[in-house]
Each structure stands twice: as structure tokens, then as C-alpha cells.
A = this chain, B = another copy of it.
Amino acid sequence: MAQTLSREQHLDLYYYMRLNRSLEERMVRLFRQSKIVGGLYSSLGQEGISVGTAYALEARDWMAPMIRNIGALLVKGCKPRDIFTQHMAKYTSPTLGKDGTSHFGDLKTKHIVSPISMLGDLIPVLAGVGIAGRYLGQKIVAMTWIGDGGTSTGVFHEGMNFAAVQRAPLVCVVENNQWAYSTPVKRQVPIRNLAERAKSYGIASAIVDGNDVLAVYQAAKDAVERCRAGDGPVMIEAKTHRMRGHAQHDPAEYVPKAMVEYWTAQDPIGRYEKYLTNAGLWNEKKKAEIDARIERELDEDQKFAEESPLPPAELAEQGVFCDGCHEIKARWERPVEEVTPPRCSIEMDGWTVEDFGQLENIETEKMESVAVSKLAPSDQRSENVSGDAKSGVRSGGQKNTGAKSPARHPLRKGKN
């Protein structure tokens, strides 16, 4: 519940959303001054999702952002200078200029995996992170984001299904912002709620008003807790709208004007400011203080970025392979004896086949009167929609045949 957030935390959410927006506004100006290398994507109007979901993570948790998740990076501890320098391709950027935009990460302390451009690829990667974390005894959760369009990729499907089978601690946030580049969601995915897809993986899901940062936070918090408890992946669909073109070069003329107007009124920061005021959680002075702090920080980091050098050309030749530059070490939080012989020969719950298939469960009428109910006539097709249109969470369809009670660690039974 939102009540569980302290005043400070409430203000934190505002801080990050506003920081996200002001940072991006500055980058638009820098883009117009040709100081940004390559494209610039905007998360205008979607700040509540990035910030609300990432705020539900703990420091030990892992995440991987997509192009519109600068807010999540900030919440997870990245600094505006990271974003500025990445976009300006500077030597001081986290990737030293080798990659741009939000394509950076931090394995050691912030636990961030860098995305790649190919949509959907992060899903199995973060599933792997979650499974590895469980194996190491770390009790971490892995979170990543994907767009409505990204759910069409094959790798999204493979990753979600694998995560579901493994009951990996993975939170997948689907940002349904109505568009994938120029393609409206209805031409991308022929269903109303993307969260429907969770059912096809037998996992829990929630649909949430993406422009309500508190609702987003709450759904994410629930999802993270569920994951951490070992209950498997959760998919959160956050409804929102992409308020700018796909990137700076795109005037988005294909978006109906009225649609933009409608969603402008739903601005997540505006709505949240009103809430904070009504709830007496701040006053003008406090707001001014935060805003001033943000400007200060941004001034400083923008200056840092602008004054930073570009990388030296020789860098291009370096680093294809890791030749001893990294020490690779797993952080064990359980005794390694548990996973080394002879103690690791543990049995797995739920592998053995206890039933013989589902023939008994389906209507096997006598052959003579075989009467498979006919396909619904086409004009009744859309009536049968049983989509849960509420903001809320549905339990997945997983049928736990065999298992006595939901195991915390789905791979272990008895023994250790």
C-alpha cells in the first residue's frame, strides 16, 4: 500500500521523475545543438513507470533498462552524468564512448545489465541472472522492461516461457505505450491487454495505470516480493502513452492529435504533484527545494559531460576480449558444499510425470455421438473476451500437479 511509503520516499519518487524529465529536456536541447551523437529517445510521460518499478528494487537486485528507462537507471544509482556522457559519446561515459544511449551497465555494484538494441533479448538474459542468483543463494530479483512492440519478438516468448518453467525471480514490465515506432498496438498484438500473455506462461500478472507512479510502485513491490519468495516470474502491464515520436527524428504525424491531448492531461508528474499537495506531503517551498537541487545536479553533470573529452582513437582497437582485465567471481551466499558432490545430488520437485496426460479431463464422449462443440460463429467472437480489465493482479494458470505446497526453491525438495 502506498501508505507504507514514508514522506521522504514519496518525495524520492517525485525527485526521480522530475530528474528524469529535466534530464531528458536538457538532452533535447543538446540534441538540437548537435551535441548528442546518434539518436535520442524520449520517455516523456512514461517516467512514472521507470521510477515506480525500479523504486521497488533493493540494492542487491538486478535490472536491465530499455531505451525509455532512464528513470530506472537513476533510481538504481546512475548519475545524470552517466546519461549525458553516454549520449555525447564521451570518454568519461560508463562505456568510454564505445556504446551510447542507455547501453551501459554495472556488474559490480549497481547490478545493471546493459541492453542491446535488439528488442526482447534481455528477457532470457535477466531470467539467467535470476536463476544464477537463486543458485548462489542471493535471494535477488531481476527486473526488465519491454514495449508493446517488443512482446512480438520470439526471444520475448522464449525468455518468458523459460523463466516460467524455471520459476525464475523475474519481473517483466511491459510498457504499453500504444505505439511501436509508427505501429499502433492493435496492429502489433491482436489482444486488448498484453498481460493476457502472462497466462500463456502460467505466471502472475498485473495491469496498472502507468501514469500513476504509486500504483506502479505498488504493483512492482508486490511483484518483487512474490519473486523474492520464490513464486516465479510476474508480468506487469503498465498502460501509458509515448508522448513524442519514436525518437527525435520522428514527428509522429501518425498519432492522432486528440490522443496526445488526452494523454497530456494524464501526465504522471502533474498528477503526482497534485497528489503530493492534496496529501499534504509537501509545500511550494519543498518542491522548489527539490527542483533547485535537480537543476544544480544537472548543471554540474551537464557541464562535466560537455567538458569531457571524446575517447582517443586507439581505444577502438582495445577490449574485444577479456585478457585478464576482469576477475570473475561469483558471490556465494550459500555454502558451496550444497552444490558440490556428494551433496548436490538433490532431487527436483515436479519433474516426475505423475499424470498420463489430460485425456480424462477433456470431454471424451462416446464415439457414436461425437459432438465437439462447434466453433463460435464469427460474429460472437468478440463477446467471449474474458479479459480482466481491472487494475489488479491475476494469478497465473500454473497447475502445480504433484507438489504438496509451493516450494520456496522450486528446484529443491527435502534434503538440505
Binding site for B on A (CB under 8 A): 1-2, 152-158, 161-162, 164-165, 167, 176, 178, 184, 186-193, 196-197, 199-204, 206-209, 211-212, 214-215, 218-219, 222-223, 225-226, 229-231, 234, 239-241, 255-256, 258-259, 262-263, 266, 271-272, 274-275, 278-279, 350-351, 353, 356-359, 361-365, 367-368, 370-376, 378-387, 389-401, 405-406
Contacts and interface: CB of A to CB of B under 8 A. Distances in A.
Contacts of A363: 209, 390-392
Contact of A278 (B263, B368, B374): B368
Nearest to A254: B353
A201 B190 CA distance: 6
Contact of A395 (B229, B372, B376): B376
Contacts of A1: 370-371
Listed residue (A357, A372, A378) with the most chain B CB atoms within 10 angstroms of its CB? A372
Contacts of A380: 395
17 contacts: A152-B157, A154-B157, A178-B357, A186-B350, A190-B201, A191-B202, A204-B376, A240-B357, A262-B357, A263-B356, A266-B359, A373-B391, A381-B395, A381-B396, A381-B400, A381-B406, A384-B396
A359 B178 contact: no
Given A157-B156, A351-B184, A231 B378 contact: yes
A213 to B, nearest CB: 9
Contacts of A219: 372
Contacts of A361: 389
Contact of A393 (B365, B373, B389): B373
B256 A353 contact: yes
Given A200-B200, A239-B359, A385-B399, 6 more contacts: A167-B190, A191-B200, A192-B399, A206-B375, A259-B357, A279-B368
Nearest to A393: B375
B196 A397 contact: yes
A351 B378 CA distance: 20
Nearest to A164: B190
A203 to B, nearest CB: 7
A374 to B, nearest CB: 6
Given A190-B201, A199-B196, A364-B212, A373 B390 contact: yes
Listed residue (A226, A356, A370, A400) with the most chain B CB atoms within 10 angstroms of its CB? A370
A276 to B, nearest CB: 9
A161 B151 CA distance: 10
A5 B340 CA distance: 62
